[in-house]
Structure 1
Amino acid sequence: MVILGFGFLCTFLVRYGFSASAFNLLVAVMATQWAMILNGIVSYRGKIRLNLRSLVDAEMCAASVLISIGAVLGKTNPVQLILISLLEVSGFILNKWVLQTLLRERMLNSIMVLHIFGTFFGLILTWILYRKGSEQGFEKEKFDRKTGLFSMFGTVFLWMFWPSFNSILVDDDTPWRKLGAVCSTYLALAVSAVTAAAVSVLSSPKGKLNLIHIQSCILAGGVAVGVSIPAIHHPWEAMIIGFTAAVVSTIGHRCLKIHMLLAFQCHDTCAVLSTFGLPGLLGWLAHLLLQINYLDDHTMAIRFAVFHISSLLITISLSLSMGIITGLLLMWKFWKPPQDRKCFDDQAFWEFPSLAVRK
């Protein structure tokens, strides 16, 4: 999912396919290695463990980074992306440590905030790195049928394996919970796929499907359920969450991206706010409401609400803080960011022998 799914998901730009897939791989492996080192220092008392569990934890951290770089896709160079991955992984593991130490959050609850952390980190980053003239749009920031097909392949791949993504950290001691996480995620994904297609058609003046909506919004149910998976006990709960997430995500894609650009000068290339941020916040809210509904003791319900709200505020605060620090570092001309005319263009980084001038 991290290497192939996220890599092909970002290949929709017509002249940025090489960079989107290859830089995704570069960022993923760098973030995974750095996360394994930091997890060993923070969680395992200075010992770096090399096993399947530590690898999965590190891949989760890398997934958060890949969400963030979607917001600045096409406007940064590989060196900047590596710097982003190192700093964001550090912030994400710090956030996980704070939640587990101060609020006694379980591993599953703290790691599933990766969607929210990655979204707000990416948004503040693209706000700081805003380029003048983005309101008119970049010449090469567009997609065609071929690149859209490759991007759809990444979406389908993520859609297929998202149930395993949500269930991998569920305790093996309770296999019925792991199976429940798989089934809940699949039901939410299925409902969100149908809902995203319906809302896309209904919101189109010509009554046609929008490929960008289908690519991104059919994953909204999996994102929302992943954040709320500990509190879901019935199939209908997962299906309602998937339906609501798809509606919110599709409407956000239709309206929110251009308004974020015009009102806040926040050029979100892949619309990560609508794809991951809003469904993640919806999943957090669903987790809060469902858990309070299941608690009979009012004192315990209030205690849970306070801790749950605190975890969200801490996550957003740390993600924004680390995003500001990273953005200020990336503003240095030392990193040689690509010029405006070279944004969203593979030729700024890759050799094309067929385009070489023969003398």
Structure 2
Amino acid sequence: MSIAYNPSLQCQLPIILALFQGGLLVVFILYVDYDDQTSSLPLSNSTLPKDNQLYEIFPFFKDINVMLFIGLGLMLSFLKLYSFGGVAFNFLIANFSIQWSLVVQGFFNHYEDGRIKLGLENVLNAEFAAVTAMISAGAILGRVSPIQLLILCLLEIPLYVVNDWLIHKYFHIIDVGGTVAIHVFSCYFGLGISRIFYHPELRVGHTKETTTPNSDLLSLVGTLFLWIFWPSFNSVVAKAGNAQHRAVLNTFLALSASTLTTFAMSSLLSKKGQISLVHLQNATLAGGVAIAISADMIITPGGALGLGCLASISCILGFQYLSPLMARRLKVQDQCGIHNLHGLPGIIGTLGSIIAVLFSPIDISDLSLNDDLYYTNGLKEGSSALEALGSNGTWNSRDQAMGQAAALGVTFGISLLGGYMTGLLLKIPCLVHPSYEFYFDDQPYFQIKDISENNWNSKDKHDRNLLMPLKEV
């Protein structure tokens, strides 16, 4: 089949990227300076080299980059004819979103005396914002053009920043790893868009919506990268010391429990006892999503293992039963199953954090509580959640539990409505829209060398024969 050339793509993609990069260049020139720890001015750089945040943050920063650009990219390469799109467009929207987040978050949170102060911590926070767009894009993977993906990022990032500010400022959510702020928000934002992009013919499956052993293997390798570095993602913003130590341990235990549960549950649900690669690629990570919100709390090792098991079970059951139901009843076609990996475990994790706040002892000396709450209550190390949060009578564990639940509800509403409205904007006719026949296909977007049998010259065929297995004599 010949590929229909779309001249709008050649026009729109360079223009949008040129305008965006040029606009940000102007903003950076006019408004952005390095912060004190990165400034070259001797008078402003009062931080000793050994105390520079670089040495505390950069090891985590590298791990998170591996997760975003390699892990998530490979994980999205599972489709047979859309592996380039999964990796390359993930690379594109990650960089687009990070730069855009630096500006949005800069004006929102780091604007001082007419300037944005930029440091490594800002870039790290921008990557957290970028993750939301990258996850949301998974719901419509292969069904939209790169132009539409860029518009998605442009609209989602500001809404993420506002929602993150809202749930921390007014609901004092404790969410060190972003279960609500990142995973739940990105999930339901993506599902809101997916509802607008519902296509009736996809109910019976698309001819290109298939995988190969090689593409599934690449996706599984991406899962392993995410699995290995997930403790860094959940612990990087925890206060250095005991809280960060707990966040690493709790995340590892939850991920390990998710892995064993996935193998057991997937085999149990198969009539032949075979393990689903889709389950391995997703449910093994569910524990990392669920534990993120309470990773730095003292939830006990058993609690971390339990959350990992529950998250994995919910993810697998979601793929098995809930995704087909949502596609049939709600007309929401979730391409990558982000609801199963990010939505359901996110809800379970939030419920777990409520239980932890109500009943678990909390080491308040280094827990990553909201700064206003921390300093208002004069919290003491080793106190229970009830004693710690209610020490001055103005904020107790019940209030905190209600704040956790309210933040979940507010995030759900904002993200779903925001995603639905974004989906309507992405359907504007002037944007490039891939036709149904070219869903899940790399060819309209990439220069792919044709290596079919008819194009091999005699030397190629000779070389291929040398690589064929020897016949038995």
Q: TM-score, normalized by length of structure 1? A: 0.95
Alignment equivalent of 1:17, drawn from 83, 88, 98? 83
Answer whether contact 2:254 2:309 (CA < 8 A) is retained.
yes
CA distance in 1, matches of 2:271, 2:344: 24
For the 8 Å contact 1:36–1:48, the answer to whether it is kept is no
- Identify the residue that residue 161 of structure 1 maps to in structure 2: 229
- Whole-angstrom CA distance in 1 between matches of 2:236 and 2:71: 17
2:136 maps to 1:62: no
1:215 matched to 2:281? The reply is yes
**Counterpart Cα distance in 2 of 1:100 and 1:251:** 32
Is 1:333 paired with 2:429? yes
Change (3 A) 1:55 1:354: same
SS of 1:346's partner is: coil
Report which stretch shifted further, 31-40 or 154-163.
Answer: 31-40
SS in 2 for 1:49: strand
Report the equivalent of 2:330: 264
Larger Rg computed on CA atoms: 2
Structure 2 Cα separation of the partners of residues 114 and 92 of structure 1: 8
Alignment correspondent of 1:184: 250
Per-residue deviation at 1:227? 2.1
| Equivalent in the alignment of 1:235 | 301
Residues 287 and 107 from structure 1, CA distance in 2 versus in 1: closer, same or farther, beyond 3 angstroms?
A: closer
1:6-35 CA distance string (max 9 Å, x none)? 100010000000111000000001111111
**Maintained 8 Å contact 1:124/1:323:** yes
> What's 1:72 paired with?
140
Identical columns (%): 32
Residue 116 of structure 1 and its aligned partner are, at CA, apart by: 0.1
User: Aligned residue for 1:35?
Assistant: 101
1 CA distance for matches of 2:118 and 2:186? Answer: 25
CA contact (8 A) 2:246 2:297 kept: no
* CA 35–278 in structure 1, closer or farther in 2 if over 3 Å, else same: same
Q: Is the 8 A contact 1:60 1:111 kept in 2?
A: no
Tell me if the contact between 2:93 and 2:149 (Cα under 8 Å) persists in the aligned partners: yes
Deviation at 1:259, TM superposition (A): 1.4
How far is the alpha carbon of 1:290 from its aligned partner?
1.3
Corresponding letter in the other structure for 1:318: I
Letter in 2 for 1:124: G
Q: Quote the Cα distance in structure 2 between the aligned partners of 1:110 and 1:9.
A: 20
1:310 partnered with 2:406? yes
- Please report how far the alpha carbon of residue 306 of structure 1 lies from its aligned counterpart in structure 2 after TM superposition: 2.2
Matching residue's letter, 2:429: K
- Which structure dedicates a bigger proportion of its chain to helix? 1
Question: SS in structure 1 opposite 2:313?
Answer: helix
CA contact (8 A) 1:113 1:227 kept: no
CA 1:209–1:220 in structure 2 vs 1: closer, same or farther (change >3 Å)? same
* Shift of residue 110, structure 1, vs aligned partner: 6.3
- Partner of 1:116: helix, strand, or coil? helix
TM-score, length of structure 2 as denominator length: 0.72
Shift of 1:304: 1.5
Q: CA deviation at 1:109?
A: 6.9
| Structure 2 Cα separation of the partners of residues 40 and 194 of structure 1 | 42
Shift, 1:107, TM fit: 7.3
Q: Which moved more, 1:176-185 or 1:312-321?
A: 312-321
User: Which letter does structure 2 place at the counterpart of 1:24?
Assistant: N
2:342 aligned partner:
276
2-structure distance, mates of 1:69, 1:136:
22
CA distance in 1: counterparts of 2:304 and 2:168, whole angstroms: 26
Q: Equivalent residue for 1:351?
A: 447
Secondary structure of the residue aligned to 2:295 is: helix
Q: Structure 2: which 5+ residue stretches go unaligned?
A: 1-66, 361-384, 456-473
Task: Give the letter for the 1:284 counterpart.
Answer: T
Question: What letter is aligned with 2:301?
Answer: P
User: What is the Cα deviation at residue 254 of structure 1?
Assistant: 1.4
Q: Partners of 2:129 and 2:386 in 1: how far apart? A: 35
Equivalent of 1:119, from 183, 187, 205? 187
Kindly report which structure 2 residues correspond to 1:140-151, keeping only aligned pairs within 5 A, or say none.
Answer: 140-151=208-219
- CA RMSD in angstroms, aligned pairs only: 1.9
Q: 2:318 is matched with which residue: 234, 240, 252?
A: 252
Q: 1:5 to 1:109 in 2, by over 3 A?
A: closer
Contact 1:230 1:287 in 2 (8 A): no
State the partner residue of 1:93.
Answer: 161
Kindly indicate whether the alpha-carbon contact (under 8 Å) linking 1:99 and 1:110 is maintained by their aligned counterparts in 2: no
Structure 1: gaps spanning 5 or more residues: none
Contact 2:145–2:434, Cα closer than 8 Å, also in 1 = yes
8 Å contact kept, 2:244–2:296: no
> Partner amino acid for 1:274?
N
Runs of 4+ in 1 over 3 A off after TM superposition: 104-112, 230-233, 294-299, 355-358
- Pick from 296, 299, 322: which aligns with 2:418? 322
1:316 maps to amino acid: F
Structure 1: distance between partners of 2:233 and 2:437: 38
Q: How many residues align?
A: 356
| Residue 50 of structure 1, CA deviation | 2.5
- CA distance, structure 2, for counterparts of residue 222 and residue 109 of structure 1: 9
